[in-house]
Amino acid sequence: MDGARLFNLPLHSGKSIAEYAALFDTVYVSLWKHFNAASGAMLAGTGEFIEGLYHTRRMFGGSLPHAWPVIAPVMQYVDSYQTDYAKAWLATDQLISMLQASGRFDIRKLSNGTSRFFLKPSGVKADMFYEKVSKAGVLMPQANADTGEFAMQVNPSVLRMSPAAIAHIFIGATS
């Protein structure tokens, strides 16, 4: 299973990570998409299967003796990720409500759960909006050149500011 975003699924589906993983012989989990590692991944499977990968892993650089700093941050985030992700969505839903109430944004969520929503400010060009929120200390992706929408990624970093503070910055950037 490509479980790159496996730890997001329980919030959206109500099924546990174990329930998903039980359906597969092996599960790949990204360490940077959830747990703030600089790069890296882990492969989970039976002990017999994993032990047999020793030489294959080494062929592709999987035994670099000094690579541990790349994944050291994982331990700080792994235990609380699911709780933090749920809190991030609560905060994001509050933010979305405030932005919708302002009448200055079109917001599109995808059905069946995802870690993204799409934001389109009105009354301001996307590049100007981006510049204004960036100057206010909000990190976000560039807008899609064709649609003017920003593909907003929901993760625990949204918890660094209150939804009201982010809404204030976003609404201010539309004028």
Running along the chain, 175 residues long, what does each successive block of 10 average in pLDDT? 90 93 92 85 85 70 71 88 95 98 96 88 96 95 96 94 97 95
Burial of 143 (0-12, 13-18, 19+ CB in 10 A): buried
Domain with CATH 3.90.1150.10 in the chain: 81-172
Angle at 129 between CA 124 and CA 130, to 5 degrees: 150
Fill in the DSSP letter of residue 154: P
61 phi-psi bin (left φ>0, alpha ψ -120 to 50, beta other): left
Superfamily of 81-172 according to CATH: Aspartate Aminotransferase, domain 1 (3.90.1150.10)
pTM > 0.75:
yes
CA distance 120 to 129: 10
Chain position carrying tokens 């050149």: 145
